[in-house]
């Protein structure tokens, strides 16, 4: 008895390896120099989904991502690890979406995808750090949500028990399905790409990608339907245009500034008991420890 | 951490060797499996792309999981509980990651679930994993044993055993016994046919068995009662699920501590005969050992790589007398020798792997259809070259990795002697490579035939005829002169006509051949990529000195002298 899982994933610039060219002169992110990667916590989410698939035969995992054409790479990365299929939601109409417009577009897409039992997403993306999209999607779909999940403890056809990682400890929560979970980086790391799946799916492409490629392998797509990555545009979902893209995004960025963190003067402590005592007091007072 | 495939351009260079085209075409039978398997390559470029992508996964797992686990595995080691081995925590984690990534059964045919990769990318994966943790590569690398099953087991046996290997079951080769080490003809473990159980039962003791508690083991046993030599031995498969073998103890070793080296007790353990009786040692173990020796060579090259990198990084950072120590001639000279040995080892490794690949592919094709005369000749030629190069590469790369590990510690100075730096572990791990799967001395015994029958000389003349850029001609001139020295030395030793005299000089002669072969290979590499010009030059100079010294020694040696060496 398997269940149907949708994984929400995002392609993000790799902000963990920022060089000096990372920001443009106008203060916006220079996406051209930052490699595009699978948002790290979305990989944790994918791993949770794949573990359910490992344990519950018949489970299917579908990746849903919204982004420009090149975000199809996220679907392929999912397929290499064990996802069954994926949908790339891409259209100029979605350009400039903030979290509200993004969650609207994603939820409207999910409504077209048929019945599901579980939606998992990373807690937040490293390019925005808002942690809003997952919860908003759940709200718009009218389903339950549990945030900050790090492990699934048990699962049956009607309910799920998960462990949440919070600032001050852990919490075990049981909830009915369908449900949306957002997953923390404290969850297990995602597995590597699988050699056979990598070779099987490396030619997987969206229709748009195929139009831009050499014709060498075009014959493949009729005989191997699994190589067709499903691309959806605004026309394939029911939506109110005003709620999409830039017009549907109430977030307005007023100003962006470069903040350069500078080390302040160092404080010199003695190795004597007194010095250590002072340090401990200071750390406790500033709530670094205790 | 770094991706240990992507950060090493030498690997990509050797993977892109011109001979790959032919080798891949043969391995893939002209890409005829495309219709049956959705992961089979569509053409040559597609196959090469697949190898690269899979090696990237190996590099990623090696960098992110295996290398960071190496230190804790070395400290923790495996344990024995109730006659079975429990791996160190990191060992199990490494293995799980590789199994999930589908990296077992890399060379096995697709019909058993394998990836059907040629030997070259498989050996490259071993090279990468070994750099991350040389102790771990043993456990993972024992998938080699499956190749022997693929070669000699029946189709029905292959279906049962190989599919299990592909799904992540580990293997072992149970050959050595307390009184049968280098001399495997002395194996005593008894195989008797049981009429009541309708199977072979194995009884006896095996010692020094790497991963002895593996899921599937190949066991060499005496099936012919009353015999005493190799002709009474047969090969069996033992299935751990059936029981009958217990681990009495694990050895406390100097290095490769994560790899459990077991003493095994067989008590009526059921075994399944592979191939024909009496061919266990003389045919199957020989094939098994040849594969394993190439694997050890890959392990040795990985260790050399790790040692060189640790030394280089330390030399660039360590300040003494107001500058980094790499600026001192004594240090940079040492590093350049390490690099030359590393590059020479690796080029010899992949040259050998290509010969093995071509030979094996023809051999498997010959089971499917009759080979043309031309193909048959080629198969024989590559088989000959594989036999010639396998002991050479095992012997030389394992000695070089020890030398590189030694120099890496020297460059670290006192710090290298402490447990705080990885070189200390690398040094201990390196030591076994020139001992197991046949000591260097035994590799020489296997290789000396290549000197006395002119096999190496013939291949050296093939390299001599390679087209080269004008700037590389000077190296060819040196090598032609060294080849004359080698030829004269060999002729002298042969003309004496005494076995002991030949054995006495065997190491010198084989090493002379090795220097000339590796130097030619590096010159060819430099011809293909200017990046290798420095190693080609440095190694050529080194080869000149080393070959001349040996030539002089042999020239001045006579049969009467040998007595002076006996104590």
Q: Where are the beta strands (DSSP E) in chain A?
A: 4-8, 11-13, 36-38, 60-66, 85-89, 118-122, 144-155, 159-166, 169-176, 179-183, 230-232
Same-domain check for residues B507 and B482:
yes
**How far does the CA of residue B57 sit from the closest CA of chain A (Å)?**
7
Same-domain check for residues B295 and B212:
no
Residues of A in contact with B103 (CB under 8 A): 195
**How far does the CA of residue B484 sit from the closest CA of chain A (Å)?**
48
Report whether pLDDT(A287) > 80: no
Same-domain check for residues B412 and B448:
no
Same-domain check for residues B224 and B244:
yes
**Interchain CB distance below 8 Å, B57 and A224:** no
Residues of B in contact with A196 (CB under 8 A): 39, 102, 115
Determine the Cα–Cα distance for residues B487 and B460; give it in Å rounded to an integer: 11
Same-domain check for residues B491 and B554:
yes
**How far does the CA of residue B35 sit from the closest CA of chain A (Å)?**
10
Strands B171-174 and A230-232 come out as unpaired
What's the pLDDT tens digit per position in B270-281?
A: 999 999 999 999
User: In CATH, what number is assigned to the domain containing residue B373?
Assistant: 1.20.140.10
Same-domain check for residues B234 and B305:
no
How far apart are the two ends of chain A, measured CA to CA in Å? 47
Residue B70, domain extent: 9-166+282-434
What's the pLDDT tens digit per position in A153-172?
A: 999 889 999 999 998 899 99
Determine the Cα–Cα distance for residues B333 and B311; give it in Å rounded to an integer: 12
- Whether residue A163 contacts residue A48, with contact meaning beta carbons closer than 8 Å, is answered with no
Select the residue of A192, A194, A224 nearest B38 (Cβ to Cβ): A224
Domain boundary among B252, B277, B302: B277
What's the pLDDT tens digit per position in A232-269?
A: 999 999 999 999 998 889 988 787 777 777 777 777 77
Same-domain check for residues B17 and B159:
yes
Low-confidence residues in chain B, pLDDT < 50: none
Whether B309 is in a domain gets the answer yes
Determine the Cα–Cα distance for residues B529 and B153; give it in Å rounded to an integer: 43
**How far does the CA of residue A121 sit from the closest CA of chain B (Å)?**
22
Cα angle B309-B314-B317, degrees, rounded to a multiple of 5: 130
Residues of A in contact with B97 (CB under 8 A): 191-192
Whether B62 is in a domain gets the answer yes
Same-domain check for residues B479 and B416:
no
Determine the Cα–Cα distance for residues B539 and B545; give it in Å rounded to an integer: 10
What residues of chain B, 535 to 564, have a C-beta less than 8 Å from chain A?
none
Select the residue of B46, B61, B115 nearest A196 (Cβ to Cβ): B115
Determine the Cα–Cα distance for residues B72 and A62; give it in Å rounded to an integer: 38
Determine the Cα–Cα distance for residues A196 and A202; give it in Å rounded to an integer: 10
Report whether pLDDT(A26) > 70: no
Select the residue of A191, A195, A220 nearest B54 (Cβ to Cβ): A195
Q: Look over chain A and give the mean of its residue pLDDT values, rounded to a whole number.
A: 90
**Interchain CB distance below 8 Å, B42 and A193:** no
CB-based burial label for B61 (10 Å; 0-12, 13-18, 19+): buried
Residue B39 contacts A, CB cutoff 8 Å: yes
Q: What is the number of structural domains in chain B?
A: 3
Domain boundary among B434, B464, B492: B434
Helices B499-528/B329-368 angle, 10° precision? 100
**How far does the CA of residue A180 sit from the closest CA of chain B (Å)?**
27
Residue B103 contacts A, CB cutoff 8 Å: yes
Determine the Cα–Cα distance for residues B141 and B211; give it in Å rounded to an integer: 11
Same-domain check for residues B222 and B107:
no
The whole model's pTM is what? 0.93
Indicate the domain borders of chain A: 4-243
Determine the Cα–Cα distance for residues B165 and B218; give it in Å rounded to an integer: 13
Instruction: Of B102, B104, B110, B123, give the one whose Cα is nearest residue B29.
Output: B110
Residues of B in contact with A198 (CB under 8 A): 50, 53-54, 57
Same-domain check for residues B430 and B408:
yes
pLDDT band (50, 70, 90) for residue A220: confident
Same-domain check for residues B128 and B215:
no
Determine the Cα–Cα distance for residues B155 and B178; give it in Å rounded to an integer: 34
**How far does the CA of residue B15 sit from the closest CA of chain A (Å)?**
18
Superfamily name and number for A4-243: HUPs (3.40.50.620)
Select the residue of A196, A200, A217 nearest B42 (Cβ to Cβ): A217
User: Under an 8 Å CB criterion, which residues of A touch B?
Assistant: 191-200, 202, 217, 220, 224, 226
Residue B60 contacts A, CB cutoff 8 Å: yes
Q: Dihedrals φ, ψ of A8, to 5°?
A: -90, 125
Report whether pLDDT(A27) > 90: no
Same-domain check for residues B159 and B219:
no
Report whether pLDDT(A28) > 70: no
Residue B1 contacts A, CB cutoff 8 Å: no
Peptide bond into A178 cis (omega under 30): yes
User: In CATH, what number is assigned to the domain containing residue B506?
Assistant: 1.20.120.470
**Interchain CB distance below 8 Å, B100 and A196:** no
Determine the Cα–Cα distance for residues A218 and A210; give it in Å rounded to an integer: 7
Q: Dihedrals φ, ψ of B57, to 5°?
A: -65, -45
ipTM given for this complex: 0.93
Whether B1 is in a domain gets the answer no
User: In CATH, what number is assigned to the domain containing residue B183?
Assistant: 2.40.110.10
Whether B2 is in a domain gets the answer no
Residue A275: the pLDDT is: 83
Residue B54 contacts A, CB cutoff 8 Å: yes
Strands A144-155 and A179-183 come out as parallel
**Tokens standing for B192?**
């008797």
Residue A23: the pLDDT is: 72
Residue B167 contacts A, CB cutoff 8 Å: no
Q: What letter would DSSP give residue B371?
A: P
Whether B263 is in a domain gets the answer yes
């Amino acid at each position: 008895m398997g269940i149907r899982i949708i994984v929400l994933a995002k392609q993000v610039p790799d902000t963990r390896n920022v060089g000096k060219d990372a920001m443009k002169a106008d203060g916006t992110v220079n996406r051209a120099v930052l490699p595009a990667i699978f948002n790290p916590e979305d990989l944790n989410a994918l791993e949770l989904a794949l573990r359910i698939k490992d344990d519950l035969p018949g489970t299917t995992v579908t990746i849903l991502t919204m982004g420009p054409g090149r975000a199809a790479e996220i679907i392929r990365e999912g397929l290499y690890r064990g996802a069954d299929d994926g949908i790339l939601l891409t259209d100029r109409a979605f350009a400039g979406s903030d979290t509200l417009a993004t969650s609207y577009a994603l939820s409207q897409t999910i409504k077209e995808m048929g019945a599901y039992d579980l939606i998992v997403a990373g807690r937040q993306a490293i390019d925005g750090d808002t942690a809003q999209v997952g919860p908003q999607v759940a709200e718009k779909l009218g389903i339950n949500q549990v945030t900050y999940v790090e492990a699934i403890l048990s699962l049956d056809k009607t309910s799920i028990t998960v462990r949440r990682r919070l600032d001050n400890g852990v919490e075990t929560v049981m909830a009915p399905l369908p449900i949306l979970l957002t997953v923390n980086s404290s969850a297990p790391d995602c597995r590597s790409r699988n050699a056979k799946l990598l070779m099987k799916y490396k030619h997987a492409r969206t229709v748009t990608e195929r139009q831009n490629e050499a014709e060498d392998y075009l014959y493949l797509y009729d005989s191997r339907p699994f190589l067709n990555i499903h691309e959806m545009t605004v026309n394939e979902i029911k939506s109110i245009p005003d709620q999409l893209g830039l017009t549907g995004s109430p977030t307005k960025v007023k100003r962006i500034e470069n903040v350069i963190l500078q080390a302040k003067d160092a404080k010199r402590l003695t190795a004597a008991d007194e010095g250590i005592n002072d340090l401990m007091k200071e750390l406790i007072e500033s709530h670094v420890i205790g | 951490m770094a991706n240990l495939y992507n950060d090493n351009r030498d690997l990509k260079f050797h993977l892109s060797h011109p001979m790959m085209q032919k080798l891949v075409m043969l391995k893939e039978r002209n890409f005829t499996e495309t219709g049956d398997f959705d992961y089979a390559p569509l053409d040559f470029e597609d196959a090469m792309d697949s190898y690269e992508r899979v090696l990237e996964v190996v590099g990623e797992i090696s960098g992110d999981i295996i290398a960071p686990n190496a230190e804790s595995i070395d400290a923790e080691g495996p344990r024995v509980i109730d006659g079975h081995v429990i791996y160190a925590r990191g060992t199990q984690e490494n293995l799980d990651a590789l199994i999930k990534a589908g990296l077992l059964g890399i060379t096995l045919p697709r019909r058993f679930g394998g990836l059907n990769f040629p030997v070259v990318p498989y050996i490259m994966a071993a090279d990468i994993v070994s750099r991350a943790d040389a102790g771990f590569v043993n456990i993972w690398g024992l998938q080699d044993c499956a190749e022997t099953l693929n070669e000699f087991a029946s189709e029905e046996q292959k279906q049962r055993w190989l599919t299990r290997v592909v799904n992540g079951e580990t293997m072992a080769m149970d050959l050595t016994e307390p009184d049968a080490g280098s001399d495997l003809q002395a194996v005593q473990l008894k195989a008797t046919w049981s009429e009541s159980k309708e199977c072979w039962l194995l009884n006896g003791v095996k010692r020094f068995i790497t991963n002895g508690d593996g899921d599937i083991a190949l066991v060499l046993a005496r099936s012919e009662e009353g015999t005493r030599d190799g002709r009474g031995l047969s090969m069996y498969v033992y299935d751990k699920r059936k029981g009958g073998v217990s681990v009495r103890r694990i050895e406390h070793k100097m290095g490769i501590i994560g790899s459990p080296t077991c003493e095994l007790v067989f008590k009526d353990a059921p075994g399944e005969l592979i191939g024909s009786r009496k061919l266990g040692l003389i045919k199957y173990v020989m094939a098994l050992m040849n594969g394993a020796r190439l694997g050890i060579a890959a392990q040795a090259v990985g260790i050399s790589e790790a040692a060189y990198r640790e030394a280089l990084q330390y030399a660039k950072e360590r300040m003494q007398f107001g500058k980094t120590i790499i600026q001192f001639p004594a240090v940079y000279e040492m590093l350049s020798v390490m690099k030359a040995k590393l590059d020479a080892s690796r080029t010899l490794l992949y040259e050998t792997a290509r010969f093995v690949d071509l030979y094996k592919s023809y051999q498997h094709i010959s089971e499917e259809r009759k080979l043309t005369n031309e193909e048959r000749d080629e198969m024989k030629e590559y088989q000959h070259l594989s036999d010639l190069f396998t002991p050479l590469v095992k012997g030389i790369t394992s000695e070089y990795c020890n030398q590189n590990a030694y120099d890496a510690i020297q460059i670290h100075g006192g710090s290298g002697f402490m447990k705080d730096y990885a070189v200390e572990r690398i040094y201990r791990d390196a030591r076994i490579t020139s001992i197991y799967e046949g000591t260097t001395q035994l590799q020489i015994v296997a290789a000396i035939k290549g000197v006395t029958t002119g096999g190496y000389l013939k291949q050296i003349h093939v390299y001599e005829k390679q087209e080269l850029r004008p700037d590389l001609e000077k190296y060819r001139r040196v090598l032609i002169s060294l080849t004359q020295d080698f030829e004269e030395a060999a002729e002298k030793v042969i003309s004496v006509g005494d076995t002991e005299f030949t054995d006495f000089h065997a190491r010198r002669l084989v090493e002379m051949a090795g220097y000339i072969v590796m130097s030619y290979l590096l010159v060819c590499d430099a011809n293909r990529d200017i990046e290798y010009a420095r190693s080609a030059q440095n190694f050529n100079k080194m080869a000149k000195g080393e070959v001349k010294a040996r030539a002089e020694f042999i020239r001045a040696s006579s049969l009467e002298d040998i007595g002076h060496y006996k104590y």
